[in-house]
Each structure stands twice: as C-alpha cells, then as structure tokens.
Amino acid sequence: MRTPLVAGNWKLHGSRESVVALADALRDGAENAAVEIAVCPSFVHLAEVGAALRGSAVALGAQDCAAQQQGAFTGEVAAAMLAEYGCRYAIVGHSERRSLFGDSDALVAEKFAAAQRAGLTPILCLGEQLAEREAAATESVLGRQLGAVLDTLGVAAFESAVIAYEPVWAIGTGVTASPEQAQAAHAYIRGQLAARDAAVAAGLRILYGGSVKPDNAAQLFACADIDGGLIGGASLVAEDFLNICRAAG
C-alpha cells in the first residue's frame, strides 16, 4: 500500500514573514494527516521554515539541488548542504528548470544521483509541452526523460525516489489534465518501471502536478496510479493546501 504524498512547491514566492506564517498554519493543520506532507520553499527560507516545522508532520524539501558535491560552482547548492538544513526531499527536473534554465535529461539524472548520495529522496519531474501532447508524443517524451535516469542509475534507484508527472501545458494555466489523461500518463510511467522490476514499480509513488486545486483533487487522487500531488499555487494558501492533503487521504 503506497502512502500518498502531497508536496508543496512554493517556487519564487514569499517573504520571511509570510513563509513562516504559512509553515505555522500547515504545522497546526497537519497534526492528524493521513498522508505524508512536504513543502519546498526557496533556498533562503529553508532554515526558518525548517525551524517552524521541526517536530511536526510536515517534511522539508528543496526545489532543486546541484549535481556537484562541492567546488567552484557559484550560485549552486549541494544536496549535502540541503540535508544539513533538515531537507528530506529535493525536486529535480522541474519543467521550469528544464525549459528556463536548460537542465538536460542527463543533468537531471546527475542531480537525482546527487540527491540520493546525500540521503535525500529525489522527486523526479517528468512532463510534456503542449506541442508534444498535440503531436501525440507524450509517451515518447516521458520515456526519454525517465530513461535518462533508468539507464544511468538502474531501476533500483527508484526504491527511494518519487516521480511527479507534470503536464507542462497544465501548469499555472488553470487547465488541468482530465483524470483519464493523468491516469494514462501515470500508468505509462509505472509500466516502464514494471518492465524492469515489478516490485519497485508497485511501490513507487507517482504524483500529479498540474493545477491541482481543492475542487479537483479528490477526482484526480482517486485514479489507481496517482499517489498524491506536487502542488504549486494552491500550496501557498494554507487551507487550500490542507484540503488537497485531506483529499489525498
């Protein structure tokens, strides 16, 4: 039985005051949660959000990590540094990192490995652009992105990992993939892993990330291969995020 995970990606939002207030509200509201909950604030807010969440049911995560462990890489943050601040998760391969900052499939695989070396659980993001979906290339894109990690690290690496399917055309647009579209993508991802190791595939949590809101969460999470969500904008409003968490339980 896979325990659902709902992770909030706060992206480039919030002030010191607002993120601590949000963390406080989530800590208080998540006491009896039936799902695992994590939040991923900006790097500069990790310490204060981590302090606010300490001892609570809400885990801390980072929005990215460097592929390198140390060295002359100005502006990067190593996975081991994140672990020192109490992070349990690190998002790698988010669509914005891929499209805006040029993170290649190979680099994402390196970041995935770096996160695991530091004891973090990587949340590997996969997803297609609108033009790719319209060209019926969804499965080939997902297969390529997933294959970069599988071919480099092997299927056993997914025993301690999470995948998030994020259709890029449904992020921040107000458009959500239908439950049928989302389930089909999740089933394809799980099937690719099952072809290598059925037990690993069965235990892997695959999250949906694409304009999840309190009013559509339950329908999405009812799908057989959707094990929670990677939540963007709705995670910035405590009650909305907690309602999504309740829907996953």
Q: Which residues are catalytically annotated?
A: 94, 166
**Cα 231 to Cα 103, 157, 210, 238, distances in angstroms:** 21, 24, 7, 12
Counting Cβ atoms within 10 Å, is residue 125 exposed (0-12), middle (13-18) or buried (19+)?
buried
Q: Which amino acid is at 163?
A: I
Please tell me the distance from the alpha carbon of residue 59 to that of residue 36, in angstroms, as a whole number.
8
Provide the 3-class DSSP secondary structure of residue 68: coil
Per residue, the 3-state secondary structure of 14-27, as one string, reads: CCHHHHHHHHHHHH
Please tell me the distance from the alpha carbon of residue 41 to that of residue 140, in angstroms, as a whole number.
31
Q: b vs e for 202-212, b when ≥16 Cβ sit within 10 Å of the residue's Cβ?
A: eebbbbbbbbb
Please tell me the distance from the alpha carbon of residue 75 to that of residue 60, in angstroms, as a whole number.
21
Question: Which of 32, 27, 29, 4 is closest to 217 using CA atoms?
Answer: 4
Contacts of 52 (CB under 8 A, 6+ apart): 20, 23, 24, 27
Name 188's bridge partners. none
Kindly state the helix (H) or strand (E) to which residue 149 belongs, with its residue range.
helix 138-153
